[in-house]
Structure 1
Amino acid sequence: MVAPHSPISDLPPSDPPALVAAKAELRRHLRGVRMAAPEAGAALCRRMREHVRAVLTPGRCVAAVWPLPGEVDLRGLCASLHGDGYGVLLPRTPPRGQPLSFHRWSPEATMCSGRFGTVHPDGEVARPDLVFVPLLGFDRRGFRLGYGGGYYDRTLAELPGVPAVGFGLSAQEVPAVPVGPYDVPLPVIVTERDVIRV
């Protein structure tokens, strides 16, 4: 679960007004696309699990997300990865301007209410070995359109060397995400149909 879309006024000042407006319009469109295809979620989770098993050995930690309404539901993936012997971490959403912290999850974990309607486990903080990054939209260059709060941008900047893997439905692909000078592409994006390596 991640923080929902933030108002345009909360976006980083580095984006010029035309870029802010273009991203906001694309977010409005893609939110509807994401909610229109819930049946693809199970296939996406299977592909995400296959990707983890191909790149990490059991015992390593994978950061996922707990779903907000309308998001792909990764709870089954979290349970499967835990059963496979991986550490599963879920984010706690801090005040704006700070990076996410990742907390250990297990099926027995107590879940705590967080900011923006999110929940996170009452587990110890741990550093992930792979971070699944949610998105509203993406393109084949690896650029993602997030929710607008900048949480994952700040978080990934503090986790150098940790693989970041975007995930979303194939219907969320667009020809080109509007990007600014500070947008960084993801090296891998997983959909229910394929694994896109940039």
Structure 2
Amino acid sequence: MDKNVIRQRLLELRSSLKETAVHSASRCIVESLLGLEQWKNAGEVLLYWPIRNEVDIRPLLTEALSSDKKLFMPCCRRDEPGIMDFGVVRAEKDLISGSFGIKEPCRSRCEFPDAVSPDLILVPGVGFDRNGFRIGFGGGYYDRFLARPQKDGFLSVGICYSFQIVDGFPHEPWDQPVELICTDKELIWRN
């Protein structure tokens, strides 16, 4: 099946979710993530700001900021589509509305290291298959990041609702799978 058709169908389903369903499913996902040893042991995490009914992981941002974890968040380059930089966020006030209406680190307030290699990265997606491959919005932002060399023990986690697990979509040579998918109903480890 064509990725664009799947993307459109999943976005329609996601946008139709009621606030109570988003809250309930997001809470299940956050609790699963907080229970992972990789979350507990992570010194550096890369998280995202949810938009348009994405899984609401903001409690993890709060948890990371109140703990000893170094919190990175992505910031899209306005003049280079598909490329993200990663800022160190120390408080929610460090975030501003950026590309695509997503909150991102303020370039004048946050440190943007040249090299970023967190222990754990949460990757939003429109859909995933059980092998960890992802359908995003087609810009390749996360594929580019995941293709970089990472530190040993690095864990990439796809975040989605259970209805966003689909099989049968094509993979491109540049697609980078995640190691784990966390939904409101299950944890799916890639073989």
Query: Under TM normalisation by the shorter chain, which class is it?
Result: 0.7 to 0.9
1:62 to 28, 38, 45: 45
Match of 2:173 in 1: 181
> Are the aligned partners of 1:137 and 1:177 in contact in 2 as well (CA < 8 Å)?
no
Match of 1:149 in 2: 139
1:94 to 71, 77, 88: 77
Matches within 5 A, 1:1-198: 22-35=2-15, 36=17, 37-38=21-22, 39-51=24-36, 54-56=37-39, 60-95=43-78, 96-122=80-106, 123-126=110-113, 127=116, 128-161=118-151, 162-198=154-190
Specify every segment of 5 or more residues in structure 1 that has no aligned partner in the other structure, as ranges: 1-18
Report Cα offsets for 1:58-114 as digits up to 9, x if no partner. 571111101222222221111023223212211101134453111122335332232
**Which AA in structure 2 matches 1:79?**
T
Question: RMSD of the TM alignment (CA)?
Answer: 2.1
Query: Percent identical across equivalent pairs?
Result: 32
Q: Would you identify which runs of 4 or more consecutive aligned residues in structure 1 move more than 4 Å?
A: 56-59
Match of 1:5 in 2: none
Report Cα offsets for 1:118-170 as digits up to 9, x if no partner. 22123212422221111111111211111111111111222434432111111
> Are the aligned partners of 1:48 and 1:190 in contact in 2 as well (CA < 8 Å)?
yes
CA distance in structure 2 between the aligned counterparts of 1:69 and 1:159, rounded to whole angstroms: 31
CA distance in structure 1 between the aligned counterparts of 2:92 and 2:148, rounded to whole angstroms: 29
Q: How many equivalent residue pairs?
A: 176
**Which AA in structure 2 matches 1:76?**
P
**Which AA in structure 1 matches 2:62?**
A
Match of 1:3 in 2: none
> Are the aligned partners of 1:136 and 1:168 in contact in 2 as well (CA < 8 Å)?
yes
Q: TM-score if structure 2 supplies the norm length?
A: 0.81
> Are the aligned partners of 2:159 and 2:181 in contact in 1 as well (CA < 8 Å)?
yes
1:56: Cα distance to partner?
4.9
CA distance in structure 1 between the aligned counterparts of 2:69 and 2:182, rounded to whole angstroms: 19
CA distance in structure 1 between the aligned counterparts of 2:83 and 2:119, rounded to whole angstroms: 16
Q: TM-score if structure 1 supplies the norm length?
A: 0.79
1:45: Cα distance to partner?
1.4
